[in-house]
Chain A
Amino acid sequence: MSNLNSLHSEIYTRHMKTVFRVCYTYMKNVPDTEDAVADTFVKLIKRNPSFKSDEHEKAWLIRTATNVCKDGLKQSWRRNRSDSENEFEQIFASTEEPFEAFIRNDAVAVAVMELPEKYKTVIYMYYFEGYDSAEISKMLKKPQSTVRNNLLKAKNLLRERLGDFYE
């Protein structure tokens, strides 16, 4: 982490996995996830925002990561990467990450991955981070009603797709 100062290194260590998980739910493959995670932290370094708390820091990263992923998916930058980067990735991406086989074959994972984009972050924050809708609302700066509504719709979709297997 030679180019990262100690503060950024600490933030990276604290939240890299969170950012990785959020990004993976959007990008659905490791190379694009890695790009998105890297972009998220580059934005952190570039803007150097001051955070009031660990939660504030995490919320900022989750929001930024979500936006990076949405932008990435929309602009199809993945297809425009330079040859050298692709080469670089080919060398390293030849082996699948251990969790990917599980994700591909797990019904719950497939159902979550196939959710519309707008539900993914709230589902992640609700189920994995354990936040309630009020907390998610605050962290994502969205009205609570929207968060509740998105959660409700996402749960209904999952229930529809997974049947009794859901929860």
Chain B
Amino acid sequence: MNSLNSQNNQDSNREDSKIAKMLGKIEPSETSERRILRKIENNLIRRERDFMRANILGLTAALASFVIIAAGVFLIPNMLNPNQGGISPANESDTTNSIETTNSIEQPDNGDKDGLNTDPAYRDIKFYPADESDYLIFTVENSIEAVFDKWAKLNNIEGVTVIESYYENNGVETVDGEVILHDSGKTTFVLVLSSGIDDYPDHVALVGVSLVNTLHDFTPFDELRVTSGSFSANILTVDGMKNLKPAIRRYDHPVSEHEFLPIKNTPPIDGPLSFDEIHAALKLWFDDEFIILAHEGDTLILSVEDNNLNEPVPAHIDAYLFVYIDESVEGEPVYYAVSKEDGMVYVQTENIRYPTMWTPFSKIMTAETSARLPELYIDEIHPWGLSCVFVNRSDMKLAT
């Protein structure tokens, strides 16, 4: 009861606080409300107009196609018949020449827009930054299709076709575009891409893969902060695609910055994950730190990136996990570090931004538990506790 009273007092203090009073004063005037409504209406009218324009263009294109096909069906056979004034064999060379001329037309420039060609996986992705409007035009062409195809093959999904790609600034932070694919079995996937994030304007990140059936609900990605460029690069390289092994999730499950994206399992996570369920790596973002965890089989693959952690991480540390343990220390983050060299886990609970003092985990855990590393993680880490994982672009390797 005491605690209830204390809570009530706290709440009442909160309502009476200067902050609450100050916030209460922020109110739109009637004029302001009118302006907001007018903006909404203008926006809706503009959308309607754009929609109609798109429909008209679509109809025009369909009509033009029909005319061309009709011309092909009815006119070309007549033209090819010399008896009816068509092309005689002597004229065929003209046709060939004409085709050659067409082929000699310069191919579209798939050049290095925005530095994307620094990574082979990005070649031929055209990328137009949104300097002038809320929209980016994001096109995915042959080579990226090939990358997705490779990704699909790695995951035994056959016949992947890019059927649609677009970008819309829909207010979902950092999510820039989607590539909708389907395989030969007509299962449709949506790859959610992001670009131009913070200090990594020249990278594209694949931040999610989803079934398309709940595409309209974009909410789960609203908190999705995109990872560093290094993460992006890994994900979009063909080898990196392996890490996504079907990272298929349902849209109706929220993704928060502290949540695993399971690679193998489609159902939402609603409890502690077993280690076998964690097949890679996840985006995560917290206070500018990134960590990535990946594993295959029983082997942990972890890597460290010195991302805004200005202090050097001990050389033998290959990775660390940034963890909250809710019950023990409120809001107090803990780093776990993993060394591939000696198989040790190190722990650091203080000075989290600059972890320079690491204690080997084995010294605080029994030898038996440290030997059972995977289970140890699951047992020790609250399912919501693992804040983030990240991987170094060059160091990311899969276990063999």
As a 0/1 sequence over residues 69 to 80 of chain A, the CB contacts with chain B under 8 angstroms (1 = contact) are 011000101001
Tell me, in angstroms, the Cα distance from A46 to B35 when the chains sit together: 19
Across-interface contacts of B258 in A (CB, < 8 A): 142-143, 145-146
> For window 57-107 of chain A, which residues contact chain B by CB distance below 8 Å?
60, 63-64, 67-68, 70-71, 75, 77, 80, 92, 97-99, 102-103, 106
Task: State in angstroms the CA–CA spacing of A126 and B256 once bound together.
Answer: 20
- List the count of A-B residue pairs having beta carbons below 8 Å apart: 160
Query: Is the CB–CB distance between A146 and B257 below 8 Å?
Result: yes
Cβ contacts under 8 Å, A97 to chain B: 28-29, 32
B254 touches A141 (CB 8 A): yes
Q: A46-B47, A143-B256 are in contact. Are A63 and B26 (CB under 8 A)?
A: no
Given contacts A41-B40, A142-B223, contact A80 B132 (CB under 8 A): yes
Chain A hits for B14, CB < 8 A: 126-127, 130
Question: What is the minimal beta-carbon distance from A90 to any residue of chain B, in angstroms?
Answer: 12
B47 & A130 in contact (Cβ 8 Å cutoff): no
Q: Give Cα distance in the complex from A67 to B218, angstroms.
A: 12
Residues of A contacting B45 in the complex (Cβ-Cβ under 8 angstroms): 3
Asked if B20 lies at the interface with its beta carbon under 8 angstroms from chain A, I say yes
Shortest distance from the beta carbon of A136 to any chain B beta carbon, whole Å = 12
User: Top 6 A-B pairs ranked by shortest CB distance?
Assistant: A38-B39, A149-B331, A128-B23, A145-B324, A141-B254, A127-B19
Chain B residues 150-178 with CB under 8 Å of chain A are 169-173
Within 8 A of B (CB), among A37-60: 37-43, 45-47, 49, 60
What are some 24 contacts across the A-B interface (CB < 8 A)? A2-B41, A4-B40, A4-B41, A25-B26, A34-B28, A34-B36, A37-B36, A45-B40, A47-B217, A47-B218, A71-B169, A80-B131, A106-B22, A124-B23, A127-B19, A128-B24, A141-B223, A142-B258, A143-B256, A144-B384, A145-B330, A145-B331, A146-B257, A149-B331
Number of interface residues of B (CB under 8 A): 59
- The answer on a CB contact under 8 Å between A1 and B37 is yes
**A-binding residues in B (CB < 8 A):** 7, 11, 13-15, 17-20, 22-29, 31-33, 35-37, 39-41, 43-45, 47, 130-134, 169-173, 216-219, 222-223, 254, 256-258, 286, 324, 326, 330-331, 333, 384-385, 387
Given contacts A37-B36, A128-B20, contact A152 B43 (CB under 8 A): no
Contacts of B171 in A (CB 8 A): 39-40, 43, 64, 67-68, 71
- Whether the Cβ atoms of B36 and A16 lie closer than 8 Å is yes
On whether the beta carbons of B223 and A130 are closer than 8 Å, the reply is: no
Most buried by B among A24, A43, A77, A141: A141
Q: How far is the CB of A64 from chain B (nearest CB, A)?
A: 6
Q: Which residues of A contact B20 (CB under 8 A)?
A: 127-128
Taken together as a complex, chains A and B put the C-alpha atoms of A109 and B21 apart, in Å, by 10
Q: Which of B32, B39, B41, B134 contacts A30 (CB 8 A)?
A: B32
B22 touches which of A20, A40, A109, A130 (Cβ 8 Å): A109
Interface SS of chain A = helix
Contact of A3 with B40 in the complex, beta carbons under 8 Å: yes
Q: Closest A residue to B330 by CB, please name it.
A: A148
Q: Which of A96-137 contact B (CB under 8 A)?
A: 97-99, 102-103, 106, 108-109, 112, 123-124, 126-128, 130, 132
Report the nearest B residue to A152, measured CB to CB: B331
Assuming the contacts A21-B26, A142-B258, asked whether A43 and B170 have C-beta atoms less than 8 A apart, the reply is: yes
Q: Return chain A residues, CB-CB under 8 Å to B40.
A: 3-4, 38, 41-42, 45
18 other contacts beyond A35-B39, A71-B169, A167-B18, with CB at 8 A cut-off?
Answer: A3-B44, A16-B28, A16-B36, A34-B35, A47-B217, A47-B218, A49-B217, A49-B219, A70-B173, A80-B131, A97-B28, A112-B23, A127-B23, A145-B258, A145-B326, A146-B324, A149-B331, A158-B19
Question: In the complex, A127 Cα to B254 Cα: how many Å?
Answer: 25
- What CA separation (Å) do A103 and B27 show in the bound complex? 11
CB-defined contacts of B44 to chain A, threshold 8 Å: 3, 42, 45
Q: How far is the CB of A53 from chain B (nearest CB, A)?
A: 15
- The reply to whether the CB of A14 lies closer than 8 angstroms to some CB of chain B is no
Known: A45-B44, A167-B13. A103 touches B22 (CB 8 A): yes
B-side contacts of A132, CB under 8 Å: 7, 11
Instruction: Tell me the complex Cα distance, A47–B31, Å.
Output: 27
CB nearest neighbor in B for A50? B217
